[in-house]
Amino acid sequence: MNAWILGGVSAAALISAPGIGWSLTAQEAWQSWQEAASSYGQTLTNDGEETMDGKLTVRNVTMSADMDDARIAATIGEVVFAEQGDGTVAITMSESFPLTVDGTDSASGEKVDVTVTVEQPGLEMVASDADGGTQLEYSAPALLVKVAEIKIDDQDFPMQLEVALTDSTGRYAVKSEPGAPVESSFEAAAVTVMVNAKDPEGNGEAKVNAAIAGLTSSSVAKGMDGADPEEMATMLAAGFDVEGVAEYGATTFDFDFNDNGVATKMAGSLTGGSIGFGLDAEGMLYDVGYEGLDFALSGSEIPFPQVTAKLASAATTFRMPVLQSDTAAPFVLRTALEGLEIGEEIWSLFDPAGVLPRDPATLIVDLAGTGRWSIDIFDEEAMMATETSGAAPGAVESIEVRELKLALAGAELTGSGAFALDNSDMQTFDGMPRPEGSANLRLVGGNALLEKLTQMGLVPEDQVMMVRMMTGMFAKPGSGPDELLSEIAVDGSGKVLINGAPMPF
């Protein structure tokens, strides 16, 4: 199955709260819904409308949309728009409705049909004026999205999938002028996910359960008028801009996999995390992180009752330009794994005597620089052409190592540096742009670690002298105990210097 199946399932939650452009009368609210659906490429049909005493009832509202190789459709039995007499409109709808996703898996060519049921008992929505625009607020004590049926080439695929939200609330707001931003926020007290799938052609089975406490999100989108995802570069140049953030609290998870008798289980928890995103003409931002990972892994092919590990925090930030340009723009790439602890069952494999310190490990790589795209990266044909020709789709013109840190088994390596890259010289460094600049490295505790590895027999005695000789070529003693320093520089001619001296080979 492809990613569009999950996209269709997720769309059900959005369809249950269509919140753009609500007006202050029942008929205008319904008209705004239809216009909003049309702007997103959806087709709306219904079996009739009935108006009485400020109340508009629309029956069998069907929304459908085509995406890639699939078609998504949902039918809501009844939607009622009721004027409240205070300038607001209350919207109610059927407590459940079906959603279908029908298409062909582009990879396998299989025909896939998915039926999803959305249950939303007690859903309440109110549209009102908001500073010259319109606002929709909604709340649902319970919202359940579950897969009712999956067929592949008309054969049943045994899979259960349910996503349940408790005490969810949301708000959508948009101003009246064309091109105005659309603002949204969402909150749920709890989210649970359950997946149970079986291999229809074997004995494989997968079970997944997860529970999240406290989910919140917010987003702002600009330039939605006339948005066409098929022309992303044009959209961005015209002012399309979207950004958002989602945060979640304490999370527990439990995975149980069995592949023809080979069992694997994993259970754990997180204390929380967040995801941030952004996309505009200046570039794309992706920022994700979590804290307090604690898990245990066991299985029929793992030679221990279980393997345990903890991670204090993990984070990745990625920012880069996205539009074709002759001028370089900044980029950022940072990844950090901090406070990694593995269980004694792993340490005992190679260090049963406890020679090495069990200090938590840390890895941080923080890079920045400038670069540019020479083609439209949203143009699939242009990107494929570079793969065929071997030409680079862009160029990095400078790179800075803002922070490098590796702490492991009592030793710590840190560093920083910056280089300019000459893309007109691809010969000096054999197909890579010639760098010019320098980097500084500092190693503390390296000799002590080498001695411990030798004591454990991981580094043979007859190779210790060779390691020390190589270290002497690339580093010099620092002012502190067991401290080594190294400056690596590349001059304008491409010559590599180690602590001011030419590289010895």
- Output the pLDDT for position 464: 83
Q: Which of 466, 344, 458, 333 is nearest to 401 (CA)?
A: 333
Q: What is the pLDDT along the chain (505 residues), one digit of tens a residue?
A: 333 333 333 333 333 333 333 346 888 778 777 876 776 678 899 999 999 888 999 999 999 988 878 899 999 999 999 998 888 889 999 999 999 999 888 778 889 999 999 999 999 988 887 666 677 889 999 999 999 999 888 888 899 999 999 999 999 877 666 667 888 899 999 999 999 998 887 788 999 999 999 999 999 988 876 667 778 888 888 888 999 999 999 999 999 999 888 899 999 999 999 999 999 999 999 999 999 999 999 988 888 888 999 999 999 999 999 999 999 999 999 999 999 999 998 998 888 999 999 999 999 999 999 999 999 999 888 899 988 888 889 999 999 999 999 999 999 999 999 999 999 999 999 889 999 999 999 999 999 999 999 998 888 888 888 888 888 888 899 999 999 999 999 999 889 999 988 876 6
DSSP state letters, 390-450: ---SEEEEEEEEEEEEEEETTEEEEEEEEEEEETT--TTTTSSPEEEEEEEEEEESHHHHH
Residue-range domain boundaries for the chain = 1-176, 228-391, 410-505
- Output the pLDDT for position 54: 87
Report the alpha-carbon distance of residue 78 to residue 49 in Å, rounded: 10
- Output the pLDDT for position 504: 65
- Output the pLDDT for position 408: 95
Report the alpha-carbon distance of residue 287 to residue 229 in Å, rounded: 22
Instruction: Note the pTM of the prediction, 2 decimals.
Output: 0.85
Terminal-residue alpha carbon distance, the chain: 53
Q: How far is CA 13 from CA 21, 140, 154, 242, 376, in A?
A: 18, 11, 26, 20, 33
- Output the pLDDT for position 39: 64
